[in-house]
A and B are shown apart, each in its own frame.
Chain A
Amino acid sequence: MTRRLTAVKTALWLLAGVLGVLTAVRFLRGLGATTALTDTAPWGFWIAFDVMSGVALAAGGFVVAATVYVFGRERYRAFARPAILTAFLGYAAVAVGLLYDLGLPWHILNPVAHPQHHSVLFEVAMCVMLYLTVLFLEFSPVILEHPRLQRPLLARVHRALQKVTIPLVIAGIVLSTLHQSSLGSLFLIAPYRLHPLWYSPYLWVLFFVSAVALGLAMVMAESFFSAWLFGHKPRRELLGNLGRAASVVLLLYAALRLGDLAARGKLDLALQPTGHAALFWFELGVSALLPAVLLQSGRVRAGSGGLFGSAALIVLGMIGYRFDVCIVAFARPEDMPYFPSWTEIAVSVGIVAAAMLVFIFFVEHLRVYPPEEHGPAEPRPRPDPGTVRPLLAGPAAAPRRYSLVAVLGAALAVALLPAGALFGDQVARTPVAGPRTLDAIRVAVDGRPDDLVLAAEPARQAPDGMPARALLLDADRDGRTVLFDHDAHVERAGGETSCGSCHHQNLPFDRASSCGSCHADMFLVSDTFRHESHVGHLGGNAGCARCHDGGEGAKTREKARACDDCHSDMLVPGAVVRPRPGGLDGRAVGYMDAVHGLCVACHEREVALRPGELPASLADCGTCHGREDPARLRRLGPYAAADVRRAAPPPGAAAVPGPSE
């Protein structure tokens, strides 16, 4: 038993250590680096679990308080203290979890300074703040009982608190009713995003009723868990009564849910073979129907396994209900699904672990459970495996053990963090795809000479057209193309010998290397230098000094010889673009910058050279962009169609969140 407690605490400290690192990363690097949230999934795991489920899981506090203090069921008094402590720690965890999720957590008190009472969230925030205070006051007599706190002033506070127990309890019930239901009202504003099987004008009723059932289930589950942890006997008969009450509430919840759907005429949505309908029935079954039926049976209620299993079903199912409303059934584009990052999950788990450690601390030091249920005091764990001999063997053993585990967890967390979380979110790489070569015919179109049409387009195959080779540029394959008249540019630049004016640098032994062979990323700088291959070709270890000939200091790229010291033929003389002074170091700017830099610079130069001859708009975006739209390309000949379709999704689907499609 004591071994079990030690093992559980060790695991919890490990998770708390992970949480410590993730906390630092979250606040230093921001939400984008640590979560999977997007503009179409602005609320994710932290809201669905920490806030929505956390508040609901802490509902046991007000349900038990009502049972014991208002309805005078003294038999259940033993549940009151742990339930209120659980609720208090649950709400504290909600508040802490919210600090991680808020973009500007230091503004968390702004709702008090700038209330906006039309916002449901405002009501939730106020109720949670007040209820957290109420729970603290409800629980504080347990703290004040501690032998070390027997001082006259504190005793007076203690007596005053005991006098206001009933008003506190009633205030807590009212506040809980308000915000448990308002968590459902939060989603009333989104009728176009929340799936109709979940959206209802009476979401707030459903959330409240389900919270009552969940509160009862949590008391049951927590009783069994702490009995297992602290080695005392669960009060199975009383828990069975709670189970029967939960079953009644669950049946009411299921009836309300289905009745509401039927009244709004949406029940047929649940009977169609869709993913949403399956999810709906699965969730309703696990959260309400199955446990309600189970708990109606006296045999299930008589055994610990049945009671605990049913309670676990309710807890998981009702968390599932919150997740469905908040995430799963909340519309977002199909090509932008949300799945939480491991850091999000680990933060939530870490907060729960920390709350459980506080709970265990209170149980070990205060009278949370009735005295007869108390297990033996804190066991003495084995000392630190380190060789440093502790000055204090006994009292220091637990801190030594748990701090070592927490350090281990923290170090593991840092090692597992993705680079984006350590160094700030990284811009995604967009590999560049080469151009496609198309056969075209040069004809006069709309009075413009030298316009290209594709050879496969029958209507435009004028007999006087000249065959031409065109390049279709779509480097990031987003379906938006530039049709580049390569032949005409060759001609204007001076024929076959003019390649170098645009192809300003070649790969070794290459002639007119394509843009994407160096500018390999659409937006980011690419590294064109292959260290491995150079090591191999220059003779392994002996070859280092061939490039790193600087002698002193570190062997860095900056201090190595420039590429063109050896590859003197890489640079083409007479090119429009020149490398930066200081020699080539193997880094190439993004494709978009490179191509814009080259084309726009040259177009501007040409306009300046021949002002009357060329239109001033030659350097505008429209000269190259927008002349070829993918839809027109798709209507062309069969090979072009296949080519374009394979490469790019239809423009509608690829573009901005047209979520409803």
Chain B
Amino acid sequence: MDAWLDWARGPAFVFSFVFLLLGLLRHVALTAWEVAHVWRRAGDRKLPLGKLLRATLLWLVPFTRLRHRFWFGLTSLVFHVCILVVPVFLAGHVALWARGLGLSWPAIPNAVADALTLLAVVTAVLLLGQRVFSRATRSLSRVQDFALPPLVAVPFATGFLMMHPGWNPFDFQATFFVHVMSANLLFVLTPLTKLSHMILMPSTQLVAELAWHWPVDSGSAVGRALGKEGEPV
């Protein structure tokens, strides 16, 4: 077990975390490149830049959208705050960063972390329930939309058990292993799934607007129509 745990905390974690960082960086670079490319071609159209900026800011600050579907919005907001704050500011995690790379930042009290962790697990379950029981949402959902919230809840649940070993019915090392590996899995999945919205969120409005002006594959569709497939547009 110890060897497996060392592997999960060592090479497996390093791989996942580097894949997360570089993968997100890749998304940023690709998005910037694609936006520039498309924008140049859609240049004859007028882009409502002011409106885009406002929409982007509105979506980035989620309070403003609460009035649409209050309970769902609140659940989602709490969920996001919890899953961002706890992993970054947990005292134990801060200590690990300090030991490994010499980086350090303030931590939140353990009691607060406990509360936020439980909230994260509860809101994850609620979000999944909303997705399952709301017919409109269900029909729009893909597999990953159902799978990701419970997956996100796993490291939080195991983390809570680790913080309170007295209440943990399972073996401590096994809990630890599941905690680390589920987090590693999330890191790897982030650049490959919709979790990448954590970095792509600010660009969604712009990308959507550009896609409206320059539909995906429109160039090759025109080319096909003209019988000049594969030639530069």
Contacts and interface: CB of A to CB of B under 8 A. Distances in A.
Direct contact of A and B (CB under 8 A): yes
A412 B107 CA distance: 31
A375 interface: no
Contact of A392 (B37, B142, B200): B37
A554 B109 contact: no
Contacts of B165: 540-542, 544
B18 A411 contact: yes
Interface string A435-446: 000000000000
A396 interface: yes
Contacts, number: 106
Nearest to B142: A387
A21 B21 CA distance: 13
Contacts of B211: 391
B92 A554 contact: yes
A581 interface: no
Contact of B26 (A21, A392, A395, A404): A404
Contact of B15 (A415, A542, A552, A556): A415
Given A410-B22, A535-B172, A541 B34 contact: no
A393 B196 CA distance: 19
Interface stretch (B123-131, B150-158, B213-221): B213-221
B178 interface: no
A387 B144 contact: yes
Interface residues of B, number: 48
B14 interface: yes
A411 B15 contact: yes
Interface in A461-484: none
A544 B168 CA distance: 12
A461 to B, nearest CB: 54
Interface string B6-25: 00000110111011001100
Contacts of A415: 11-12, 14-15, 18
Interface string A244-278: 00000000000000000000000000000000000
A385 B34 contact: no
Contact of A554 (B11, B95, B172, B217): B95
A386 B92 contact: no
Interface in B49-90: none
B132 interface: no
A391 B34 contact: yes
Contact of A386 (B16, B37, B192, B220): B192
Nearest to A419: B10
A535 B176 CA distance: 14
Nearest to A394: B220
A373 B185 CA distance: 47
A290 to B, nearest CB: 43
Contact of B19 (A408, A545, A553): A408
B216 A391 contact: yes
B137 interface: no
Question: Which 7 interchain pairs have the tightest Cβ spacing?
Answer: A415-B15, A541-B165, A554-B95, A411-B19, A411-B18, A391-B34, A554-B92
Given A391-B210, A403-B30, 10 more contacts: A387-B142, A391-B38, A391-B211, A396-B30, A407-B22, A414-B14, A414-B18, A415-B14, A415-B15, A554-B91
15 contacts: A386-B192, A387-B194, A391-B31, A391-B35, A391-B38, A393-B217, A407-B23, A411-B15, A414-B15, A422-B14, A532-B2, A545-B166, A552-B109, A554-B91, A556-B95
Interface of A: 21, 377, 385-396, 399-400, 403-404, 407-408, 410-412, 414-417, 422, 532, 535, 540-542, 544-545, 551-556
